[in-house]
Amino acid sequence: TGAITLDIGFVNTGSCTSKITFLDGEKGILRYRGYPIEQLAESSNFAEVSYLLYNGELPTAAQLEAFNKDIAASSKLPGGVEKIIDQFPGSAHPMGVLAAAISSLSGFYPEFLNPEATEEIKNKAITQMMGQVKVMMAQFYRKTMGKSPLASNAKLDYSSDFLNLMFDGEVDKDVADALDTLLILHADHEQNCSASTVRVVGSSHANVFASIAAGVTALWGQLHGGANQAVLEMLEEIRKDGGDYQKFIEKAKDKEDPFRLMGFGHRVYKNFDPRAKIIKKACDTILEKLDIQDPLLDIAKGLEEVALKDEYFVKRNLYPNVDFYSGIIYKALGIPTNMFTAMFVLGRLPGWLSQWKELREDGARISRPRQVYMGETERDYTPVIKR
């Protein structure tokens, strides 16, 4: 009740309280459950971070072992879901495939549909989905390559098993480590577009699969997770155009031109994105380890250097975000460009699930914003023949 305050794009609207992720955009601080992202990226692993986000505390050795075992036990799909994935044309975008396949899980696990789902089922949601989403992604990728699916290996850590499911042959430890770091950096980011979507959908007591599938579709867009694919396509375009990044900087500044420098800018980070700092370093390390000279990395670094000195970007506090260098790493790991945003899903899944669980545990009210109506005032209906 009372006057409605408009906040288009929710620039300054707090939608919930949360104990999961702390973010200070001015200082460039990101912490999961109090632990600095830098420490987690350096010393932890993705399974442990996922447990931490979902349960609030780092696991003991026994808890971590049980968590990994549960993920491994879930790293397979019901035959029906395999068929659904298989029905997509190979040209389909992996994000559409994932949204459909995740949503389809509701048909195979009806026990999750009860809004009063027991603690046991709530606790199972994370290990089951972490196991199954990795299998879905790999199955679709292999289909596009004309290859049959590979089996999960319970002995491998999360990132190694994902690579094992994707590619034939031995998993390279450096590649698996680089991937694990990327997944940690993507694991949660408080009330961004997709997490808020998960919360809005979950607030109606929609089931966990429906809520997470909604998060996937929100992430797909270029202004959000889709930026990682867009960055690589942009860098490729600059390379093909002769590598003149100044031209693209001018394009991004031109208000008449819809082009934006992809991977630049952030709603909350106004000095730097702490994830981008870590990723830039990881990018150098992995390319050096794999002995890859990617001209796109030079273009990216050049673009960054020029943009950081340019008044337009400085005035608007536009810095490289998490998506700016991540694509170059994914490319080095052998992941196709149109799968980059799906890689973001793999990383963000524990964050979305943690937000969903917290929402349900807090007994949140249904999300129901208001509007300011700007349309026609009352008018009388005219039959079609009179129009």
| Catalytic machinery residues | 266, 323
One-letter identity of residue 227 = A
* Nearest-10 crossing angle of helices 158-166, 46-55: 120
Pull the structure tokens for residue 195: 């997490």
CB of 307 to ligand CMC, least distance (A): 9
Per CB under 6 A, the list member of 94, 131, 149, 225 interacting with ligand CMC is 225
Position 261 contacts ligand CMC (CB under 6 A): yes
Position 223 contacts ligand CMC (CB under 6 A): yes
CB of 134 to ligand CMC, least distance (A): 20
Question: Which residue's CB is nearer to ligand CMC, number 71 or number 278?
Answer: 278
Beta bridge partners of 320: 264
Per CB under 6 A, the list member of 67, 245, 248, 264 interacting with ligand CMC is 264
Size of the site for ligand CMC (CB under 6 A): 20
Q: Which stretch binds ligand CMC (CB under 6 A): 30-38, 140-148, 320-328, 355-363?
A: 320-328
Position 327 contacts ligand CMC (CB under 6 A): no
Residues in CB range of 311: below 8 A, 6 or more apart: none
Burial of 195 (0-12, 13-18, 19+ CB in 10 A): buried
Residues 264, 303: Cα–Cα separation, whole Å: 10
Residues in CB range of 180: below 8 A, 6 or more apart: 45, 46, 157, 158, 159
Per CB under 6 A, the list member of 80, 316, 334, 369 interacting with ligand CMC is 316
Using alpha carbons only, how large is the chain's radius of gyration in Å? 22
* Whether the Cβ atoms of residue 213 and residue 101 lie closer than 8 Å to each other: no
Residues 309, 345: Cα–Cα separation, whole Å: 33
Element (H, E) at 127: helix 119-144
One-letter identity of residue 254 = D
* Whether the Cβ atoms of residue 199 and residue 356 lie closer than 8 Å to each other: yes
CB of 156 to ligand CMC, least distance (A): 28
Question: Which residue's CB is nearer to ligand CMC, number 298 or number 310?
Answer: 310
Position 340 contacts ligand CMC (CB under 6 A): no
Per CB under 6 A, the list member of 83, 147, 267, 281 interacting with ligand CMC is 267
Q: Which residue's Cβ has the minimum distance to ligand CMC?
A: 265
Per CB under 6 A, the list member of 265, 347, 350, 351 interacting with ligand CMC is 265
Per CB under 6 A, the list member of 192, 196, 207, 354 interacting with ligand CMC is 192
CB of 323 to ligand CMC, least distance (A): 5
Pull the structure tokens for residue 71: 């993920």
Question: Which residue's CB is nearer to ligand CMC, number 77 or number 218?
Answer: 218
Residues 153, 72: Cα–Cα separation, whole Å: 8
Pull the structure tokens for residue 124: 């199972």
Per CB under 6 A, the list member of 260, 270, 289, 301 interacting with ligand CMC is 260
For ligand CMC, the binding residues (CB under 6 A) are 9, 192, 223-225, 227, 252, 260-267, 316, 318, 321-323
